[in-house]
Chains A and B, each alone.
Chain A
Amino acid sequence: MYKKTYKARLIFISAAFITFLSFLFIRLIYVQYIQHSKMAEVAWGQHNVTIELAPKRGPILDRNFKPLTSSLKVDSVYAVAKDVKDKRAVAKRLSEILDKDEQALYERLNRDKQFVWLARKVSPEVARKVQALGINGISLIDETKRFYPGGSLACHVIGFAGMDNVGLEGVELLFNRYLKGSQGEKSIARDAKGRQLPLLVRRHIPPVDGCNLILTIDEVIQYIAEEALEKVYKKYNAKGATAIVMNPENGDILAMANRPNYDLNNFGSSDAITRKNIAVCSYFEPGSVFKIVTASACLEVESSSLENVFYCENGSWYVRGHTLHDHRGHGKLTFREVIEKSSNIGTVKAAMIAGEENLYKYIKLFGFGEDTGIDLPGEIAGVIRPLNKWSKYSITAVPMGHEIATTPIQLACAASVIANRGLLVKPRVVDKITDSHGKTIRAFTPTIKGRVISEEAASKVCEMMEGVILRGTGKRASMPGYRAAGKTGTASKIEPNGRYSKNRYIASFVGFAPVDNPAIVVGVMVDEPHPQYFGGTVAAPVFKEITDATLRYLQIPPEESS
């Protein structure tokens, strides 16, 4: 009996053990084999930490390698929402320091998330105050922020990078893929206290810092242009203004300034209109400045010479159904004098002799109606109607810079054709891109687009333009020690009703110096100056100021006799 009971108990307990062991064995198989990858992942996550290594955004330098940008480490405030106890009180305390709405902060703290941003890239004082609070769940984290030591200097060229270090304007935008670099990663073991163990680096992909962008801009020349432009912008209460300084030989843009402008370190407070790069993104009817193109066409096709005489109808000429006026009545003028004194009637007569086809051909050769190809975002091509769309009045308007819309950079390039003895160059703002070790990754070599007019024709137009400054409408552009050549322009703006305005003008001047071996081309455009509005009065002195200071800065010796 006893033996039977003993045997039964033994079998029962054995069965129980075997069942239990079987269960354990099955569980073991399940965890070790079936759930292997998941468990390994969890274990990896507990024992290791993966850190993203942010790259440093590449700097932008001027042509003399002076830094125009800097990327510095700043603190950002974040919260681990579940660790924050009294959210309402914390939101109240933080709203005073961070200068943010208390309710907005409270809503953020109430989000069902592990990590929430409270304030990005704050100043060191704010970071110190937040740290001093010592609130559980509120911490600081390093981020990099873009700073611009020049403030608003060359703001429209440089542009800015936003909160996530992505370029949003200017060359920061256009060359973002070179500047941003690439992120790295490091997987490293950590101990029980969460400290990293450099000895046990599992995986290390180092970040690649962004490339260096070297511009053709010269910081000093840029400042000269900005100062001169600021004076005229304020003096004449203008709506806008732009100045371009360019090397006619290789197309290097040495300065590009616009008004209104903004501080790159505070781009958030500027609007889209202020951020617009007028030099490449705005077009206008150029007015008399365009006569250098007309003169070039006439001289190139030899329909006129410098000494041809034109009767300028004493300032009023009825042609093709409407009356053409000169600013001042003239009688007979040579072609040279027509340009010097900026006679509309004389210019139209010369253009009529050359013919519409020839005029249109040279307008296109000068690059109008298409992009210049400058390496800045948002460039527009301007407007030039195709020849078959010209009306019978067009030949009386286009030669003097109406019925055509150009950008300031196109006009500067047109002047550079004359300065460069007939060759059209492509303007450029970026010289080269180098890596963080200085090795050139990409070079932007100067590009000559082609010959527009012959050297002889260019030389004659140059003579005419020098006459504008010596004897004509641009006397205020003359400067002691240097011979300069240029052309004034005073163009009426078009009212919403389609008629030309009687009180809104664009004053412009474009020219180059020294005449014998031009070192710089300078283009100035002032939008709606008042009370004065003539190009010779408003824009010519700006040309003089910029050119004089720039030539001396470039150590180009004054000519012995000028």
Chain B
Amino acid sequence: MYKFLCSIIIITSLSLSYVHQRVELFEYSYRINDNHKRLCLLIDQNEGLRYNVASLKAPHNLRRELVLNNIELDTPQNWHNIRLASLPAGQAGAESKKKKELTYDNSFRIAAKALINILAPKAEAIAQELNQP
């Protein structure tokens, strides 16, 4: 009798837990479904926003915005381009070598150099016009 009751209880418990598990699984699957729908909706919204960005970046829309804001742009003409004179190749190499050597100087020299750099006037870039208007 005792064994019979125990087995009935065990079987009933197992059955109930199985049913509970299945119910929970279905509940979760409903939630997954809802989340999936929400994800699809967000993806669609993202696509819509990407389209809006592409549309705003489209040349005719940019042009319209420029006109609305009274902004006039033009491509640079020859005299707008200024070429900076570049250092000769050898000197450029020497500069980088010198910079390396500084790292091996003592800290006092580095600090003094930094102070001089701050206080002393710097060399100006040499500008050379490409073409005369």
Chain A contacts for B30, CB-based, 8 A: 195, 197
Q: Are A72 and B51 in contact (CB under 8 A)?
A: yes
Residues of A close to B57: CB separation below 8 A: 66, 149
Interchain CB contact under 8 A, B47 and A71: yes
Given A196-B33, A558-B78, answer yes or no on A72-B44 (Cβ-Cβ < 8 Å).
yes
User: A72 contacts B60, CB within 8 Å?
Assistant: no
Determine chain A's interface SS by DSSP, over half rule.
mixed
Q: Are A558 and B131 in contact (CB under 8 A)?
A: yes
Tell whether A450 is near chain B: CB-to-CB under 8 Å.
no
A223 touches B44 (CB 8 A): no
CB-CB contacts of A185-206 with B at 8 A, as 1s and 0s?
A: 0000001000111110000000
Inter-chain contact B29/A153, CB cutoff 8 Å: no
**Chain B stretch 84-132: residues in CB contact (< 8 A) with chain A:** 130-131
A456-491 interface code vs B (CB 8 A; 1 in, 0 out) = 000000000000000000000000110000000000
Whether A67 contacts B29 in the complex (CB less than 8 A), given A151-B60, A223-B60, comes out as no
Whole-angstrom distance from the CB of A256 to the nearest CB of chain B?
Answer: 15
**Given A67, A73, A480, which contacts B50 in the complex, CB threshold below 8 Å?**
A67
A549 within 8 A of B: yes
Complex CA gap A284/B93 in Å reads 62
Does chain B have a CB within 8 A of A150?
yes
Residue A220 CB within 8 A of the other chain: yes
| Chain A, Cβ-Cβ closest to B75 | A552
| Cβ A223 vs Cβ B29 within 8 A | no
B51:A153 contact, CB within 8 angstroms: no
Q: For chain B residues 20-51, which have a beta carbon within 8 Å of chain A?
A: 25-26, 29-30, 32-33, 36, 44, 47-48, 50-51
Interfacial chain B residues near A198, Cβ < 8 Å: 29, 32-33, 36
In the assembled complex, the Cα of A147 lies from the Cα of B30 at a distance in Å of 34
The reply to whether A481 and B75 form a contact with Cβ atoms under 8 Å apart is no
Q: Which residues of B contact A147 (CB under 8 A)?
A: 51
Decide: B54 and A220 in contact? CB cutoff 8 A: no
Chain A minimum-CB-distance residue to B50: A70
Query: In the complex, are the beta carbons of B131 and A560 less than 8 A apart?
Result: yes
**Chain A residues whose C-beta falls within 8 Å of the C-beta of B77 in the assembled complex:** 480-481
Residues of A within 8 A of B75 (CB): 548-549, 552-553
Our pick among B25, B36, B59, B130 for the contact of A223 (Cβ within 8 Å) is B59
Contacts of B51 in A (CB 8 A): 67, 70, 72, 147, 149
> Which chain B residue lies CB-closest to A196?
B33
Count how many pairs of residues, one from A and one from B, have CB atoms less than 8 Å apart in the complex.
69
Give complex CA distance A525, B1 in Å. Answer: 104
Question: CB distance A149 to B131 under 8 Å?
Answer: no
Question: Given contacts A150-B58, A560-B130, is CB(A199)–CB(B25) below 8 Å?
Answer: yes
Q: Is A219 an interface residue (CB 8 A)?
A: yes
**Complex Cα gap A203–B66 (Å):** 54
Question: Which one, B26, B44, B54, B81, contacts A67 given CB within 8 A?
Answer: B54
Give the bracket for the number of chain B residues in contact with chain A.
20 to 34
- CB contacts under 8 Å to B, within A512-562, are 548-549, 552-553, 557-558, 560
C-alpha spacing A410/B25, complex, angstroms: 67
With contact pairs A198-B32, A199-B25, A560-B131 given, residues A151 and B47 touching in the complex (Cβ less than 8 Å): no
B17 interface residue (CB < 8 Å to A): no
What is the distance, in angstroms, from A253's C-beta to the closest C-beta of chain B? 17
Cα A560 to Cα B131 with chains together (Å)? 7
Judging by beta carbons under 8 Å apart, are B36 and A149 in contact? no
Interface string of A217-241 (1 = CB under 8 A from B): 0011001000100000000000000
Which residue of chain A is the closest to B130 with respect to CB atoms? A560
Known A198-B32, A198-B36, A560-B130: A73·B59 in contact at CB below 8 Å: no
Closest approach, in angstroms, between the C-beta of B40 and any C-beta of chain A? Answer: 9
Name the B residues within 8 Å of A71 (CB-CB).
Answer: 47
Are A153 and B32 interface neighbours, CB within 8 A?
Answer: no
Closest-by-CB residue of B relative to A56 is B47
Bound-state Cα–Cα, A379 to B16, Å: 73
Q: Is the CB of A481 within 8 A of B78?
A: yes
Instruction: Determine which residue in B58, B76, B81 has the highest number of CB atoms from chain A within 10 A of its CB, and name it.
Output: B58
A195 touches B33 (CB 8 A): yes
Chain A residues lying within 8 Å of B33, measured Cβ to Cβ, are 195-196, 198
- For B54, the closest partner residue in chain A by CB is A149
**Distance to closest chain B CB from A34 (angstroms):** 34
Query: In this assembly, does B7 line the interface, its C-beta being within 8 Å of a C-beta of chain A?
Result: no
Residues B58 and A149 in contact, CB atoms below 8 Å apart: yes
**A73 and B29 within 8 A (CB):** no
For A553, the chain B residues whose CB sits under 8 A away are: 75
Report the separation of the CA atoms of residues A147 and B51 in the bound assembly, to the nearest whole angstrom.
Answer: 8
* Contacting residue for A199 out of B29, B44, B76, CB 8 A: B29
Q: Convert B45-74 into 0s and 1s, putting 1 for each residue whose CB lies closer than 8 angstroms to a CB of A.
A: 001101100110111100100000000000
Contact for B48 among A72, A151, A549, CB less than 8 A: A72
Which residue of A70, A149, A199 is within 8 Å of B26 (Cβ)? A199
Determine the chain B residues whose CB is within 8 A of the CB of A557 once the complex forms.
81
Closest residue of chain B to A147, judged by CB? Answer: B51
A156: min CB distance to chain B, Å: 16
Which B residues are closer than 8 A to A by beta carbons? 25-26, 29-30, 32-33, 36, 44, 47-48, 50-51, 54-55, 57-60, 63, 75-78, 81, 130-131
The 10 closest A-B pairs by CB, nearest first: A223-B59, A149-B55, A149-B54, A70-B51, A199-B29, A552-B75, A198-B29, A73-B44, A150-B58, A67-B54
25 A–B pairs (Cβ distance < 8 Å), ordered by A? A67-B54, A70-B51, A70-B54, A72-B44, A150-B58, A153-B58, A191-B26, A195-B30, A195-B33, A198-B29, A198-B32, A199-B25, A219-B58, A219-B59, A220-B59, A223-B60, A223-B63, A227-B63, A480-B77, A481-B78, A481-B131, A552-B76, A558-B78, A558-B131, A560-B130
